[in-house]
Structure 1
């Protein structure tokens, strides 16, 4: 990781693994789901050409151990962690990009601490609480399945229920760093199903507070995500906010599959383009 500064940030009940690269205005990238900073290894170096790019492993995942992993289930607590990362960097209002559960953290951060967020790009936040049939998407069912039948069964059900079962899997690799990353992500899955999915599925964004921030909130989704649950939830959020949905390259994980194209599409959004 040439050119990457690695820090450990102590926060109440956890120690966060943080990575910083580049210089210029601060851009915070918040990982989603069972992922960590490595999910942004494709786009972070590109964006670091003119930004100070900050990433971190959310509490209870990978290299950010938590004293009590169950506390990681709170979206409010995860947003507080993001705020503390920004405070540690010494940033004024920063641009924030979050994907999936990371976008939910970003929404809560912008709601709770709007003075910290110059602009939020929320990429496919699965805010299924906005659905008329929200109860069908409650993550408690996946948590119970994981306890009863194990992580592989919960993973299969999650991919089927969200419509993402057909998304391209990571290509085969024998690269040690890539294998280490995949192993970390796999180790995060039990906590993802036990806690994160439940908290995110029950998260109700404060629409009025977010609407008051106007163009500072950008809602984005992958072009190839049509019909999938995260895309549908993102469409519902855009409609509730009265804003236009911005389409990005790829699917729910477009920044992984097409990092160059994704970074090129993301850059004007960071600079204030509608």
Structure 2
């Protein structure tokens, strides 16, 4: 374990909690809705020779927003990330984002390329790049409505089915049933109500990504074949004219086995221009 220094950065409409570990070239680990805690094991492993920045995205955990009704979009989160990178004054960064955080780092490359030497987009849910986008849109509207109507388990079941993620029998009840941490429930509701749709149907600007000067890695979990994020990341790679880069595990590979993920990440970092 490395010691993390913590801080808060005030932006126009939010207070951003962030943590910094280690020293050396700047790495930023970015989630949405995953918070800084989800990246702690991986951050500790990379902090031996990197400065590692992690953060709670706006509206989640320790990063409150002034208006809880405001939607959380990749461009808005990318602006936050750009401010944080400038604030810690160790950039430009290599930014690895996973899931919704992968959309964040792609938006960072588009709008703030001066802050990102490279971005590693690990399984972004870019439904707009898929041929079945309208079906996914209808399914997303339905599962959000199911959640807001109070059927938490039903909503997560629909989400997993649409994502193509197969869980063991009873896993949903174990993960999302019974007594739960109130802050996690608050964050979950915000994600369903103000973040999920806005992230899934954010359309990346492929031309802007190509011209940004920021190197883009389209990263996929080796166990994610056929899942929505696998298909979307392959579509992104095809649009950019690059090959997908495989990482250990599935959609949450960086939490499933941080040590294996860190080994692969170091290999990818060594290959960056």
TM-score by length of 1: 0.89
Which residue in the other structure is 1:178 paired with? Answer: none
Whole-Å Cα distance in 1 between the matches of residues 268 and 69 of structure 2?
34
Contact kept, 8 Å, 1:26 with 1:52, in 2: the verdict is yes
Deviation of 1:44 (Å): 0.4
Q: Relative to structure 2, which stretch is displaced further, 8-17 or 94-103?
A: 8-17
- Structure 2: tracts of 5 or more residues without a match: 175-179
Whole-Å Cα distance in 1 between the matches of residues 258 and 143 of structure 2?
30
The 5 Å alignment of 1:210-249 reads 210-213=209-212, 216-249=215-248
Which residue in the other structure is 2:56 paired with? Answer: 57
Which residue in the other structure is 1:176 paired with? Answer: none
Which residue in the other structure is 2:249 paired with? Answer: 250
Deviation of 1:54 (Å): 0.3
Which residue in the other structure is 1:18 paired with? Answer: 18
Deviation of 1:2 (Å): 5.1
Whole-Å Cα distance in 2 between the matches of residues 215 and 272 of structure 1?
14
Whole-Å Cα distance in 2 between the matches of residues 167 and 11 of structure 1?
42
Q: CA RMSD in A?
A: 2.2
Change in CA separation of 1:137 and 1:90 when aligned onto 2, cut-off 3 Å: same
Contact kept, 8 Å, 1:73 with 1:198, in 2: the verdict is no
Deviation of 1:209 (Å): 1.3
Asked if 1:164 is matched to 2:165, the reply is: yes
The 5 Å alignment of 1:69-108 reads 69-108=68-107
Contact kept, 8 Å, 2:113 with 2:213, in 1: the verdict is no
Change in CA separation of 1:112 and 1:26 when aligned onto 2, cut-off 3 Å: same
Q: Relative to structure 2, which stretch is displaced further, 72-81 or 206-215?
A: 206-215
Whole-Å Cα distance in 1 between the matches of residues 83 and 143 of structure 2?
30
Change in CA separation of 1:254 and 1:209 when aligned onto 2, cut-off 3 Å: same
Deviation of 1:103 (Å): 0.4
Whole-Å Cα distance in 1 between the matches of residues 8 and 235 of structure 2?
37
Asked if 1:29 is matched to 2:29, the reply is: yes
Deviation of 1:188 (Å): 1.5
Count of aligned pairs between the two proteins: 264
Contact kept, 8 Å, 1:72 with 1:195, in 2: the verdict is yes
Q: Relative to structure 2, which stretch is displaced further, 187-196 or 97-106?
A: 187-196
Contact kept, 8 Å, 1:21 with 1:54, in 2: the verdict is yes
Contact kept, 8 Å, 1:98 with 1:123, in 2: the verdict is yes
Deviation of 1:196 (Å): 1.2
Q: Deviations over 1:123-146 (max 9, x none)?
A: 000101111121222233332222
Which residue in the other structure is 2:201 paired with? Answer: 202
Q: Deviations over 1:54-78 (max 9, x none)?
A: 0000010011111112324222111
Contact kept, 8 Å, 1:59 with 1:72, in 2: the verdict is no
TM-score by length of 2: 0.90
- Structure 1: tracts of 5 or more residues without a match: 173-180
Change in CA separation of 1:186 and 1:266 when aligned onto 2, cut-off 3 Å: farther
Asked if 1:145 is matched to 2:150, the reply is: no
